[in-house]
Chains A and B, each alone.
Chain A
């Protein structure tokens, strides 16, 4: 039985909008030409592939439902109260194979000593074997290294095989659509003679698929990134946090975009009292430290939730609402930057000849803004969107740290870092939760930064002939 969270519906709305925009942009020369430029750059395309995988995982994690409960009665179908997502099903093993407490990556033994009773009846304090980690090994000290190496090698092979298949599929599709032979397309792609930089796309796809295959193979018998305090697999946590990061990066922008564009353009175009009011608004908002605004709003939400506790069906719904609210608040605190940029640009554009010509024709104001100002500021908007994305993802981690981020029950990199940090004084140190969170965040943000660099270069009108 499907469950739709508010954020889920917004995500799909966004995806829809992106696809629609894609089809619209194809027809507009001034939008499709820069994108063609982006497609030529190797780094941009590699980043795009990585981003695609992240988005794919995030989307899978946004399809929620109540799983069926196994019963004997054939007539009824009972659904459990639990809410799972499609990603949960894929990662079922990771999700369910919980240990008791901490364990190091690829370990077969728990991280802390316990009182174990030996067969002889004697009790010693030693590291117990894990329930799932290294479960197939009878003698882990000797065998685990070889087993790990074996699994990695097989993973490598599987990965190569799957990449080979996928890449060839793509080449076949490409050659069909271009009416070329397979060899021609292959030759062009490998020699980087194509319009889109397929070579780097193929390379990145292979790397990602190989990594996935290796991780998959290792996960069958080990916890690749170890387990956290309550024994949950850290890799699972990191993967589930992807959705949170993506949501914060994108929904926030969705919230603030209409405001920023409308206010910025109006302020610059109409000037006068409209400009004064809007400037007053954003100066006032800007002078309140953002953290305070967010903190206050989250507190507001918490009180609201505790007062209206009956309206919510589940912890997950409450957490989801908090996530949504965080996005809205982040949006409200961040629209001022873009608004100011657009206002400055609108001030310049309103004096430009073709706007004056439109006024000389008697074209009405809203049409002038829509037809002449808006398309000519889209590059600033696009650069802003992509730029803000990485900032927001990083900000989430910080906000969770000071307890005004997402709900503690939501999977997020910020929460992972936060809980890990509280345990940092422990000897020896538990480093794997932190590392997993940092690594995943780094990959996503780096890909987004590289991609946004290419977008910015391609859309900067000073660098284009337009």
Chain B
């Protein structure tokens, strides 16, 4: 069947009025056929989410549909009065969102929330309703549905919450399911399951899916046809095989080339694992971070949450050791524990022969200059009330780098230029910069105290793919120039492929496998590693 289900024609949405009106979606047109998955691919700010919300007419109050039409069959959705549109929402078109944690009402049970859709659009008796709910929960793969139908959202994991969202959306038997980055917030292994589920449901019900994502691997896995969006416009729209075998638009090309991968690494001059003849800069032995669980009147410790459970790892100068794991694996806790930003339960952390645990707080302060950290969230890693100049100098002052204000100012200028910014940026405030630029400033801040080791805690996870490529490239260059050692924490295997020499796979607080990147990624020995690697969506297409 290739009959057109939905046609979007010349959609324009904008924000602001009069002189300050800006188009968020700038005249896009596409159509979705029955039974197909149409992917809107783009980075943040491309307007893909707003397009989806426009179809549903669920835009936030500040954003308005300026012109265009959306035809469902032959009905123009934009011309419908609100009460008729409500009959379409949930019944003909269903939608699932990105954040399963907050998208479900915390005080209603799963069953109640699914029944709401059923009661709104279908005429069922109470018992029929319950039966249908259980059917839906089974269809989306929730085990023990009869029991779990009465449970609250917080009793389900992230992946399961998203399945419930899918069940709610399916309850109305929609012709079109709009999925707005449904797996972006989920772990890789869970993501694979949810994507499988969506494909199966599509085959079973014959519905169309409008799938929105920024991940090319996911796009290639799910999409029959893909449209690439940039700045509110569709720059290229082809079916999957054509797009991946023959991308034409410069933006698409740029997007493809930005993806980190082994091939890209080889192309840029493969960084071989350095011969580890020096003694290790950083040697972590049997690190444990346990949190006690206290119960009872006297708050006795009945057990422990073992966030980090015996981790041993080495880092040498000039190399990148990647620590890979999903959420809850303990990788961030390990990073903070090494820096003494939280208390560790036991273990040795040696930096150049000094056991960091045994040091007095004064001596530890002095060593802090050598081990620095770059955080994940570029928005919360800098004090919004401080100028860039002061932010970068704060560490210098604390570590007595640079004897006078003048010397320090000069260092700041050099650093900013090193990370690709300009000298005059130092008089600006963080909110004036983009995410990628902020990360560069954070790197400059870390470099200011001349560290030997930098712990990178998911530094590019919150950035767009093209920006990520730039930051990774910058990190690589800096490593070469200053012989820095990176402890690179990430959940993204492609990044590991691209930047790391050694990799350690963490699962539930333990390192299940570690070694040279080529060996671990090509020949994984541990079952979890294999599962992790196979879950990563790679770009697949037929030429």
* Contact present for A362 and B368 (CB under 8 Å): yes
- 1/0 per residue B241-279: CB within 8 Å of A? 000000000000000000000000000000000000000
In the complex, chain A residues 22-59 whose Cβ is within 8 Å of any chain B Cβ = 28-30
Name the B residues within 8 Å of A356 (CB-CB): 336, 341, 373, 375
Judge if A359 is at the interface, Cβ distance under 8 Å: yes
Residue contacts A-B, CB under 8 angstroms, 23 given = A29-B385, A352-B380, A353-B377, A354-B380, A354-B383, A356-B336, A357-B381, A357-B395, A357-B445, A360-B339, A360-B368, A361-B394, A361-B398, A361-B449, A362-B366, A363-B394, A363-B395, A367-B398, A371-B394, A375-B386, A376-B383, A376-B385, A466-B384
Which residue of B is nearest A464, CB measured?
B431
Cα distance A367–B384 when bound, in Å?
Answer: 16
- 1/0 per residue B436-469: CB within 8 Å of A? 0000001001000100000000000000000000
- 1/0 per residue A442-466: CB within 8 Å of B? 0000000000000000000000011
Cα distance A367–B386 when bound, in Å?
Answer: 14
Given that A354-B382, A359-B341, A372-B383 are known contacts, is A29 also in contact with B429, CB under 8 Å in the complex?
yes
Judge if A160 is at the interface, Cβ distance under 8 Å: no
Q: How far is the CB of B321 from chain A (nearest CB, A)?
A: 19
Judge if A166 is at the interface, Cβ distance under 8 Å: no
Name the A residues within 8 Å of B364 (CB-CB): 362
Which residue of B is nearest A357, CB measured?
B381
Judge if A295 is at the interface, Cβ distance under 8 Å: no
| Interface range on chain B (Cβ under 8 Å from partner) | 20 to 34
Cα distance A136–B364 when bound, in Å?
Answer: 87
* Contact present for B386 and A371 (CB under 8 Å): yes
Q: How far is the CB of A29 from chain B (nearest CB, A)?
A: 6
Name the A residues within 8 Å of B369 (CB-CB): 361-362
Q: Which residues from chain A sit less than 8 Å from chain B, CB to CB?
A: 28-30, 352-354, 356-364, 367, 371-372, 375-376, 465-466
Which residue of A is nearest B445, CB measured?
A357
Name the B residues within 8 Å of A353 (CB-CB): 375-377, 380-381
- 1/0 per residue B361-377: CB within 8 Å of A? 00011101100110111
Given that A361-B395, A361-B399, A361-B449 are known contacts, is A354 also in contact with B381, CB under 8 Å in the complex?
yes
> 7 closest Cβ contacts across the A-B interface?
A361-B395, A362-B365, A353-B381, A362-B368, A375-B385, A353-B375, A30-B385
Q: How far is the CB of B402 from chain A (nearest CB, A)?
A: 14
* Contact present for A362 and B398 (CB under 8 Å): yes
Cα distance A352–B378 when bound, in Å?
Answer: 11
Which residue of A is nearest B378, CB measured?
A353
Name the B residues within 8 Å of A372 (CB-CB): 383
Q: How far is the CB of B406 from chain A (nearest CB, A)?
A: 21
* Contact present for B372 and A360 (CB under 8 Å): yes
Q: Which residues from chain B sit less than 8 Å from chain A, CB to CB?
A: 336, 339, 341, 364-366, 368-369, 372-373, 375-377, 380-386, 391, 394-395, 398-399, 429, 431, 442, 445, 449
Cα distance A53–B386 when bound, in Å?
Answer: 36
Name the B residues within 8 Å of A371 (CB-CB): 383, 386, 394
Cα distance A362–B360 when bound, in Å?
Answer: 13
* Contact present for B373 and A357 (CB under 8 Å): yes
Q: How far is the CB of B449 from chain A (nearest CB, A)?
A: 7
Cα distance A245–B416 when bound, in Å?
Answer: 53
Q: Is the interface of A mostly helix, strand, loop or mixed?
A: helix
Cα distance A393–B236 when bound, in Å?
Answer: 65
> Contacts A360-B372, A371-B386 given; 12 further ones with Cβ under 8 A?
A30-B429, A353-B376, A354-B391, A356-B341, A356-B375, A360-B341, A360-B368, A361-B395, A362-B366, A363-B394, A363-B395, A363-B398
Given that A361-B399, A361-B449 are known contacts, is A465 also in contact with B431, CB under 8 Å in the complex?
yes
* Contact present for A362 and B399 (CB under 8 Å): yes
Which residue of B is nearest A372, CB measured?
B383
Which residue of A is nearest B396, CB measured?
A361
Name the A residues within 8 Å of B445 (CB-CB): 357
* Contact present for B368 and A375 (CB under 8 Å): no
Cα distance A319–B54 when bound, in Å?
Answer: 67
Which residue of A is nearest B380, CB measured?
A353
Which residue of B is nearest A367, CB measured?
B398
Name the A residues within 8 Å of B449 (CB-CB): 361
Most A-side CB within 10 Å, residue of B372, B385, B442: B385
Most A-side CB within 10 Å, residue of B341, B365, B375, B384: B384
Name the A residues within 8 Å of B383 (CB-CB): 354, 371-372, 375-376
Most A-side CB within 10 Å, residue of B365, B373, B391, B398: B398
Cα distance A353–B442 when bound, in Å?
Answer: 11
Q: How far is the CB of B16 from chain A (nearest CB, A)?
A: 14
Cα distance A364–B394 when bound, in Å?
Answer: 11
Q: How far is the CB of B130 from chain A (nearest CB, A)?
A: 40
Which residue of A is nearest B362, CB measured?
A362
Cα distance A375–B384 when bound, in Å?
Answer: 9
Cα distance A39–B14 when bound, in Å?
Answer: 28
Cα distance A30–B384 when bound, in Å?
Answer: 8
Cα distance A352–B385 when bound, in Å?
Answer: 14
Cα distance A367–B397 when bound, in Å?
Answer: 12
Cα distance A361–B375 when bound, in Å?
Answer: 14
Cα distance A466–B431 when bound, in Å?
Answer: 6
Q: How far is the CB of A360 from chain B (nearest CB, A)?
A: 5
Cα distance A29–B368 when bound, in Å?
Answer: 31
Name the B residues within 8 Å of A30 (CB-CB): 384-385, 429
Name the B residues within 8 Å of A352 (CB-CB): 380
Q: How far is the CB of A191 from chain B (nearest CB, A)?
A: 15
Which residue of A is nearest B384, CB measured?
A466
Name the A residues within 8 Å of B429 (CB-CB): 29-30, 466
* Contact present for A361 and B384 (CB under 8 Å): no
Cα distance A359–B395 when bound, in Å?
Answer: 9
* Contact present for B339 and A358 (CB under 8 Å): no
Cα distance A98–B537 when bound, in Å?
Answer: 91
Name the B residues within 8 Å of A364 (CB-CB): 398
Cα distance A358–B395 when bound, in Å?
Answer: 7
Name the A residues within 8 Å of B398 (CB-CB): 358, 361-364, 367
Name the B residues within 8 Å of A363 (CB-CB): 394-395, 398
Cα distance A367–B398 when bound, in Å?
Answer: 10
Name the B residues within 8 Å of A375 (CB-CB): 383, 385-386
* Contact present for A357 and B375 (CB under 8 Å): yes
Cα distance A224–B274 when bound, in Å?
Answer: 93
Name the A residues within 8 Å of B384 (CB-CB): 30, 376, 466
Which residue of B is nearest A373, CB measured?
B383
Cα distance A210–B394 when bound, in Å?
Answer: 55
* Contact present for A361 and B368 (CB under 8 Å): yes
Q: How far is the CB of B29 from chain A (nearest CB, A)?
A: 33
* Contact present for A360 and B373 (CB under 8 Å): yes
Which residue of B is nearest A363, CB measured?
B398
Which residue of B is nearest A465, CB measured?
B431
Cα distance A353–B449 when bound, in Å?
Answer: 18
Most A-side CB within 10 Å, residue of B341, B366, B377, B399: B341
Q: How far is the CB of A307 from chain B (nearest CB, A)?
A: 50
Name the A residues within 8 Å of B442 (CB-CB): 357
Q: How far is the CB of A441 from chain B (nearest CB, A)?
A: 37
Cα distance A76–B366 when bound, in Å?
Answer: 72
Which residue of B is nearest A374, CB measured?
B385
Cα distance A361–B373 when bound, in Å?
Answer: 9
Which residue of A is nearest B390, CB measured?
A371
Which residue of A is nearest B364, CB measured?
A362
Cα distance A361–B365 when bound, in Å?
Answer: 8
Cα distance A364–B372 when bound, in Å?
Answer: 16
